[in-house]
């Protein structure tokens, strides 16, 4: 007989304890330890060696034929298509469009390659059909299974032998051999391992939807992200129609690649030229508005960044940001005050990246500084100027990567002037259609763009 033991397992990090603690001793989170029954099995006979060690030169390489989804943005993020036998995790806020995207992908794969199984643990089959009718994804080869039991799901896979499987979501799937509830750290770990085994043994790509916490990270054990082949995050603002699909892990392609979609009534539509879309409503002659050529993965994107500096109504000035790191903005404001003499300690500062896009690279620093100075001095920036550069604590402008791609994107959108770090400027080739200007420090950049007081 197997012995049952009680353990308290942290639902945040997986730490196991023999008694309950208010605070997890490992990750220091409060009220995350949940009591679970752990069954200890008797020791079985040692398994025979099936896959002996081999020299790496004798191992055969399989030439996988990727499955094309015909969604160019998704294929870009995945590295050229879906690799057979891969386990792909996609996460995002509720209502961001995860199920919509996967239902569109399932329909296109079913039309071009064969049967696709869509496993839903959160909806009934009729609810999935209602969404499929709205999205017009009613392919006959698309099968729907409303099930939570991992063994029943495997029986469904064995019955129809699909080309691809989608599981929505992993937090609702459970293994009946475990006593813990669905969504617990033990269930997520075991069901994910089961799906990974199915994907590798049968060569079936499996998409797994994962819930996110209120902080925006994937819920469940961190081992889930280590276990899968690809991790995709669906980002975006509910008040904007644009969605960004970002790859933070990809064993079969580049990381930090992004794809941009627009949410419409008929589903997600890919945006082939996002720079033009993000700049379409840019105001002319407005102070505090600058254009920054940012690079996300291998793709350059022109983004409008707006700053508003106004007198504070309270003793403590407000510092609010949307789309950029607040700490990075605080650093740039400190440099403006210390090195430039722009006294904004009594001013409210608001920074916004238009379109609901989130940017994190240091190349935005110079654009943030110029936008704040423009709003503070009420002097607009030329609408045909793009600005890029990293600002150091001494006020120097440091070089950025992929400057050629940034300049090429600015030229394509009709910009005639690019302000860049001096180090990048020295390495650039002459272009008669573009005016490239290199600056060494922040004071030189502000004098060039805004002139003297």
Phi and psi, residue 345, nearest 5°: -70, -20
Element (DSSP H or E) covering residue 307:
strand 299-311
d(CA 143, CA 137): 11
Q: Which candidate, 199, 179, 47, 206, places its Cα nearest to that of 117?
A: 206
d(CA 246, CA 240): 17
d(CA 83, CA 63): 10
Given a contact cutoff of 8 angstroms between Cβ atoms, the answer to whether 292 and 282 are in contact is: no
Q: In what order do the strands lie in the sheet with 267-270?
A: 142-146, 116-120, 164-168, 206-210, 87-92, 230-236, 242-250, 258-264, 267-270
Reported residue count of the chain is 453
Query: Binding site membership: which residues?
Result: 92-99
Give the burial string for 160-170 (b: 16+ CB within 10 Å, else e). Answer: eebbbbbbbbb
d(CA 89, CA 87): 7
Which residue intervals of 61-209 are DSSP H helices? 72-78, 98-112, 125-135, 150-160, 185-202
Angle between helices 326-335 and 365-377 (to 10 degrees): 60
Question: Which residues does 140 contact at the CB level (< 8 Å), separation at least 6?
Answer: none
d(CA 423, CA 438): 8
d(CA 225, CA 227): 5
Given a contact cutoff of 8 angstroms between Cβ atoms, the answer to whether 342 and 376 are in contact is: yes
Query: Binding site membership for ATP: which residues?
Result: 92-99
Under DSSP, is residue 289 helix (H, G, I), strand (E, B) or coil? strand
d(CA 295, CA 390): 13
Which residue intervals of 222-281 are DSSP H helices? 223-227, 274-278
Q: Are strands 230-236 and 258-264 parallel, antiparallel or unpaired?
A: unpaired
401: left (phi over 0), alpha (psi -120 to 50) or beta: beta
Look up tokens 């879309």; give the residue: 277
Which residue intervals of 113-265 are DSSP H helices? 125-135, 150-160, 185-202, 223-227
């Amino acid at each position: 007989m197997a012995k049952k033991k009680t353990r308290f397992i942290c639902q945040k990090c997986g730490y196991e304890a023999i008694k309950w603690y208010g605070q997890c001793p490992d990750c220091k989170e409060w009220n995350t330890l949940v009591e679970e029954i752990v069954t200890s099995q008797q020791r079985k006979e040692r398994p025979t060696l099936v896959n002996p060690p081999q020299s790496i030169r004798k191992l055969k390489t399989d030439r996988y034929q990727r499955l094309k989804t015909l969604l160019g943005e998704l294929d870009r993020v995945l590295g050229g298509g879906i690799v057979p036998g891969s386990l792909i995790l996609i996460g995002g806020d509720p209502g961001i469009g995860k199920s919509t995207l996967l239902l569109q992908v399932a329909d296109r794969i079913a039309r071009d390659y064969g049967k696709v199984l869509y496993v839903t643990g959160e909806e009934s089959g009729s609810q999935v059909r209602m969404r499929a009718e709205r999205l017009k994804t009613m392919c006959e080869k698309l099968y729907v299974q409303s099930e939570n039991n991992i063994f029943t799901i495997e029986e469904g896979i064995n019955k129809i032998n699909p080309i691809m499987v989608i599981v929505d979501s992993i937090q609702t799937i459970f293994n009946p051999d475990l006593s813990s509830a669905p969504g617990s750290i033990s269930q997520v770990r075991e069901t994910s391992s089961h799906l990974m085994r199915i994907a590798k043994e049968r060569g079936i790509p499996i998409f797994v939807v994962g819930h996110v916490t209120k902080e925006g990270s994937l819920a469940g054990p961190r081992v889930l992200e280590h276990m899968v082949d690809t991790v995709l995050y669906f980002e975006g603002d509910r008040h904007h129609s644009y969605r960004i699909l970002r790859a933070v892990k990809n064993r079969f392609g580049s990381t930090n690649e992004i794809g941009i979609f627009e949410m419409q009534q008929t589903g997600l539509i890919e945006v082939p030229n996002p720079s033009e879309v993000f700049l379409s409503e840019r105001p002319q002659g407005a102070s505090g508005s600058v254009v920054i050529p940012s690079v996300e993965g291998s793709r350059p994107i022109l983004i409008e960044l707006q700053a508003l500096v106004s007198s504070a109504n309270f003793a403590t000035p407000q510092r609010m940001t949307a789309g950029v790191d607040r700490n990075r903005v605080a650093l740039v404001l400190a440099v403006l005050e210390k090195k430039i003499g722009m006294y904004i300690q009594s001013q409210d500062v608001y920074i916004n990246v238009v379109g609901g896009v989130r940017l994190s690279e240091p190349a935005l620093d110079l654009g943030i500084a110029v936008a704040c100075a423009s709003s503070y001095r009420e002097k607009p920036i030329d609408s045909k100027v793009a600005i890029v550069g990293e600002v150091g604590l001494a006020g120097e402008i440091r070089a950025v990567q992929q400057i050629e791609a940034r300049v090429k994107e600015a030229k394509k959108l009709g910009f005639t002037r690019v302000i860049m770090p001096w180090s990048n400027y020295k390495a650039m080739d002459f272009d008669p259609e573009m005016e490239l200007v290199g600056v060494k420090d922040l004071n030189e950049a502000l004098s060039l763009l805004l002139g003297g007081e």
